[in-house]
Structure 1
Amino acid sequence: MLNPVHLRTLVEVVKTGSFAEAARRLGYTSSAVSQQISAFERAVGVTLFEREAHSIRPAAAALLIADRGGELLAAFDGFEHEVKAMVQGLRGRLRIGTFPTASARVVPKALAKLQAELPGAEIRLDEAEPDDVLPLVLAGELDLALVYAYDLVPRTWPEELTVLPLLDESLLVMVPSAHQAAKNNVRLEDLKDERWIASRDGTSGATCLTRLCAAAGFAPKIAFRSNDYEVVQSLVAAGVGVALVPALGYKELPGTHAMPLRHKPVRRHVHVVHRTANTNPLLRDAVNALQEVCRNAVAGHLYQP
């Protein structure tokens, strides 16, 4: 197998026409250069230089190898630069998983920050609920993911994961703006006779609503289900029901009124998770960007009405 160090030495000798000058440029001794050229000749099985008392002359094979070898070394140098940049976090690929409301309110600003700081990095984004993205993080198919857990629906995190908090968001009750509850801070039991709009059965949001209502002494009458909070809020605006919406999913919509529950502060907690053993150098930058965006959001009271 050809030694790239020897190839680089040969290219320099052909370029300078001298073992001594090539040695000076490469930081070797003349003897080391001579030994490397001899080793290269043994590897290819042909004499590459005609040696005379005070000069050398490259053979045709040496000229050909130097010409092609220069191209290979240039490509190798570029590859080496890319590897160093990747290790330093300047390039590489980062695969992020996130859930829909974070996709809309948190992730875009974090991605913009990352792309500005690391323009050579390739960032991929996949969207799904936490139960779907967590196995992908554990399998190494995603580098990190944004996930959530409700106060009333706690999660147990696998030991292989590092779990870092991003923000805590309020849960808001949404009612039509003409609803009597819109004039006061609402108690959950005041809404026991209402039709409810909830997320899909079995989701953490739906489970949280059921447990919250059970603690207030009733079972919610769920008339409609959707995992799209824009749909949920549009249904509220149409006057067909009330809903419990996390602050990340809330957008001010004509015909609706949103408020936190009185005396029952319940929150959804957003985390970023990654495998503890993951050595991707872009992880630190991504986590820092997400934490900064969330700090600014909380400071601006966007997610804690």
Structure 2
Amino acid sequence: MLVLNPVHLRTLVEVVKAGSFAGAARRLGYTSSAVSQQISAFERAVGVTLFEREAHSIRPTGAALLIADRGGELLAALDGFEHEVKAMVQGVRGRLRLGTFPTASSRVVPKALAKLSAERPDAEIRLDEAEPDDVLPLVLTGELDLALVYAYDLVPRTWPQELTVLPLLDEFLLVMVQAGHPAARNDVRLEDLAAERWIASRDGTSGATCLTRLCAAAGFAPKIAFRSNDYEVVQSLVAAGVGVALVPALGYRALPGTHAMPLRHRPLRRHVHVVHRTANANPLLRDAVNALREVCRNAVGGHITAP
């Protein structure tokens, strides 16, 4: 009967992540020799070679990659179980790990966490901020309990079948120009901005892809002069008159010297969802989702709508 040692499994996962015994040793607080011994013991237990050893490097085998991938999920589940047992013994109400993206961090999450903390004062709540492509894998592996994510109209997403996906709100994409710009009216057409310099998010992001596809449909390629994922920076650049931008309503702040409006003929939206593993049994999930939904219902208005 095969019995896996969780310590050896965690070591294997860290070696695969770090790419070396020495790197894993630094992350785990072990010596390189101890890591090597644990991997050797793991190889004897499973009966396969997990790493090809070379003079100055190692290479994980297919078996190691498979075990590390599934093992990460098992370790996350074990950590969660250990925390639940500890919380039960100590009388603590539980732990929730939430991922979110920057604009939701400032407009939605604080009020939701305040409500959740008031209702569950003994709960431990952790917050991580990153883009959807970065937080979704963490939800799948169990490192996060739930996450706020978004999808643009022109950049649809497919969701892994292991996830429950719940809509929270829809936000219009707003064209932002300097006050006094000829396009500063409520019926702006994208074609009117074909000659403008654009300020966009980083290349490869959903926002930048959406802008490129939108302009392509209007018959031109946007001349992107500046890039930033910080919408305060984007809007400050617009206010300075160095370009125009397409910003989601959650990222929009009415700055002096600027004007923002939806597109005239083709209003687009960014859709905000909360996702969690369907199999996640964390009792705080329901309370967290309810708090987020209530805050989002109250946020409707100002180019933000209910899904």
- Give the alignment's TM-score, normalised by structure 1: 0.70
SS at structure 1 position matched to 2:118: helix
Q: What do residues 216-266 of structure 1 show as CA deviations (whole Å, max 9, x unaligned)?
A: 110000000000000000000000000000000000001100000001011
- Aligned-partner residue type, residue 94 of structure 1: L
Pick the aligned partner of 2:123 from 117, 121, 125: 121
Task: Report the Cα offset of residue 178 of structure 1.
Answer: 1.7
Cα pair 1:174 1:259 within 8 Å, conserved: yes
2:295 aligned partner: 293
Q: SS of 2:139's equivalent?
A: helix
**Greater radius of gyration (CA):** 1
CA contact (8 A) 2:185 2:261 kept: no
TM-fit CA distance, 1:183: 3.3
**Structure 1 letter corresponding to 2:261:** M
For 2:88, the aligned partner's letter is V
Structure 1 stretch displaced more, 225-234 or 181-190:
181-190
| Count, aligned residues | 222
TM superposition outliers: structure 1 runs of 4+ over 2 Å: 79-82, 300-304
Taking structure 2 as the reference length, the TM-score comes to 0.70
1:108 to 96, 110, 114: 110
Per the alignment, residue 219 of structure 1 pairs with 221
Partners of 2:304 and 2:249 in 1: how far apart? 5
For residues 273 and 85 of structure 2, what CA distance do their matches in structure 1 show?
Answer: 35
Please show how residues 3-22 of structure 1 align to structure 2 within 5 Å.
none
- The aligned runs of 1:22-101 (5 Å cut-off) are 82-83=87-88, 91-101=93-103
CA RMSD in angstroms, aligned pairs only: 1.8
* Alpha-carbon shift at residue 82 of structure 1 (Å): 4.9
- Correspondences of 1:190-269 after superposition (within 5 Å): 190-269=192-271
- Take 2:188 and 2:232, find their aligned partners in 1: how far apart are those partners? 22
1 CA distance for matches of 2:105 and 2:140? 21
Question: Gapped runs of 5+ residues in structure 1?
Answer: 1-78
2:304 is equivalent to residue 303 of structure 1: yes
Q: Percent identity?
A: 84
Contact 2:98 2:125 in 1 (8 A): yes
Q: Find 1:161's aligned residue among 149, 160, 163.
A: 163
CA distance in 2, matches of 1:81, 1:198: 47
State the Cα distance separating 1:109 from its structure 2 match: 0.4
Cα separation, 2, equivalents of 1:261 and 1:121: 43
Does 1:142 pair with 2:115? no
Residue of structure 2 equivalent to 1:3: none
Matched to 1:303, the amino acid is I
Q: CA deviation at 1:301?
A: 3.8
Gaps of 5+ in 2: 1-83
Shift of 1:81: 10
Report the CA distance shift for 1:302/1:114 in structure 2 as closer, same or farther (over 3 A). farther
Letter in 1 for 2:115: K
User: Aligned residue for 1:273?
Assistant: 275
Q: 1:233 to 1:160 in 2, by over 3 A?
A: same
Give the conservation status (yes or no) of the 8 Å contact 1:85–1:91: no
Separation in structure 1 between the aligned mates of residue 218 and residue 153 of structure 2, nearest angstrom: 16
